C-alpha cells in the first residue's frame, strides 16, 4: 500500500504558498536524479514515472538538474556536456535545440535507448498530473527563468529549488515569494547568512550535513523548517543499497524530514 504522507510534512495551500508542517512520525523520500536504476536513463521521463508509480511514500520528491542550451531552452541534464548520458558530444550551453533533438539518452550501462533529452517544458507538463514534488538543481544562472516557468505552469506548490549559497537563495526568493527554497546549513555561520536574508521560515528547507549540530537542528525545527539530508549511496557506498535498519537509524539520528537517496523505491518501503 502506498502511504500518503500527511503527518510529518503536510502540504497544504495557504495564500498560494505550499506550507509544510513538521512532525516526528513520517518523512518524505527524494529520488536523486529520479533514482539510479539500470533499466532507465537518469533524469528521464520513464525513470520519473517508474519512481512515482513504485514509491511507497507519496508524493515522492524527484530531484532533477536544469541546464540551458545555446538556443535558450531548458533541459533536464546533470553534466555540463551531453557526452556521458547521450549519443552526442559537447557542452549543452554550446549546442542548438536542432542538434539536441537528434540525440538519444543512454541507460546506466551505456546502452542507447529510444528516449530523447527531456525538456523542462515537458517535465512541467508531466508534473501537473503526477503525484510528485520537483526538486530543481539549477546548474547555471537561470534561476529567475526557471522559477518563472514553474510559476506560469501554476506549480509553485509542487516545487522546491536547491541552493547552496545565500546569493542564489536570494535570487530564487526574489523570483517568487511563493516557492520553497532549500538552503545549505552546515553550521551556525551558514544559518546566520540565510537568516540575514529575512526569508520567512515557511519558504525554507534546511539541507543539513554531518557537521550541523543538534542544537542548530533543534533551532531550525522550532522554526518549523523541514530538515533534509542525503545518503548518496553511489558515492559513499559503492552504489549499493544499505540494509533497511541503516536508513531508519539515519533518519532517527539526524532528525530528518526529507531523505535524498539513489534508491527511492526501495528506501520508501523500509519505513
pLDDT at 65 over 50: yes
Quote the cell numbers at residue 157: 506548490
Q: For residue 195, count other CB atoms closer than 10 A to its CB.
A: 17
For residue 43 the three cell numbers come to 533524469
The helix-helix angle for 120-129 and 45-54 (nearest 10°) equals 20
Q: Is the pLDDT of residue 145 over 60?
A: yes
pLDDT at residue 56 greater than cutoff 60 = yes
Per-residue pLDDT tens over the stretch 4-16: 443 344 343 333 3
Inform me whether the pLDDT recorded for 246 exceeds 90: yes
Q: How many CA atoms lie within 13 A of 87 on its CB side?
A: 13
- List the domains of the chain with CATH numbers: 3-61+121-268 (3.20.20.190)
Secondary structure, 3-state, the chain: CCEECCCCCEEEEECCEEEEECCCCCCEEEEHHHCCCCCCCCCCHHHHHHHHHHCCEECEEEEEEEEECCCCCEEECCCCECCCCECCCCEHHHCCHHHHCCCCEECCCCCECCCCCCEHHHHHHHHHHCCEEEEEEECCCCHHHHHHHHHHCCCHHHEEEEECCHHHHHHHHHHCCCCEEEEEECCHHHHHHHHCCCCCHHHEEEEECCCCCHHHHHHHHHCCCCEEEECCHHHHCCCCCCCHHHHHHHHHHHCCCEEEECCHHHHHCCC
Place of cell 513504485: 54
> Residues 212-230: what's their mean pLDDT?
97
Neighbours of 219 (CB within 10 A): 16
150-187 pLDDT per residue, tens:
999 999 999 999 999 999 999 999 999 999 999 999 99
Chain length of the chain: 271
State the chain's mean pLDDT as an integer. Answer: 92
Nearest in space to 261 (alpha carbons), one of 18, 37, 7, 26: 37
Amino acid at each position: 500500500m502506498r502511504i500518503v504522507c500527511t503527518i510529518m510534512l503536510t502540504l497544504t495551500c495557504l495564500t498560494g504558498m505550499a506550507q509544510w508542517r513538521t512532525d516526528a512520525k513520517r518523512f518524505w523520500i527524494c529520488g536523486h536524479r529520479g533514482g539510479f536504476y539500470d533499466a532507465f536513463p537518469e533524469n528521464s521521463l520513464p525513470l520519473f514515472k517508474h519512481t512515482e508509480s513504485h514509491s511507497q511514500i507519496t508524493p515522492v520528491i524527484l530531484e532533477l538538474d536544469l541546464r540551458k542550451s545555446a538556443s535558450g531552452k531548458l533541459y533536464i541534464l546533470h553534466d555540463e556536456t551531453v557526452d556521458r548520458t547521450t549519443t552526442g558530444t559537447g557542452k549543452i550551453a554550446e549546442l542548438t535545440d536542432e542538434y539536441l533533438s537528434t540525440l538519444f539518452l543512454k541507460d546506466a550501462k551505456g546502452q542507447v535507448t529510444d528516449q530523447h533529452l527531456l525538456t523542462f517544458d515537458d517535465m512541467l507538463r508531466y508534473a501537473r498530473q503526477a503525484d510528485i514534488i520537483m526538486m530543481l538543481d539549477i546548474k547555471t544562472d537561470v534561476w529567475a527563468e526557471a522559477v518563472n516557468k514553474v510559476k506560469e505552469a501554476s506549480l509553485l506548490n509542487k516545487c522546491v529549488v536547491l541552493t547552496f549559497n545565500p546569493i542564489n537563495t536570494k535570487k530564487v526568493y526574489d523570483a517568487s515569494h511563493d516557492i520553497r527554497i532549500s538552503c545549505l546549513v552546515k553550521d551556525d555561520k551558514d544559518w546566520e547568512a540565510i537568516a540575514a536574508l529575512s526569508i520567512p521560515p515557511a519558504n525554507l528547507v534546511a539541507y543539513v550535513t554531518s557537521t550541523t549540530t543538534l542544537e542548530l537542528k533543534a533551532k531550525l525545527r522550532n522554526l518549523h523548517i523541514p530538515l533534509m539530508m542525503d545518503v548518496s549511496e553511489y558515492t559513499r557506498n559503492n552504489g549499493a543499497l544499505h540494509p533497511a535498519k541503516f536508513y531508519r537509524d539515519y533518519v532517527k539520528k539526524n532528525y530528518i524530514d526529507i531523505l535524498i537517496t539513489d534508491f527511492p523505491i526501495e528506501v520508501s518501503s523500509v519505513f
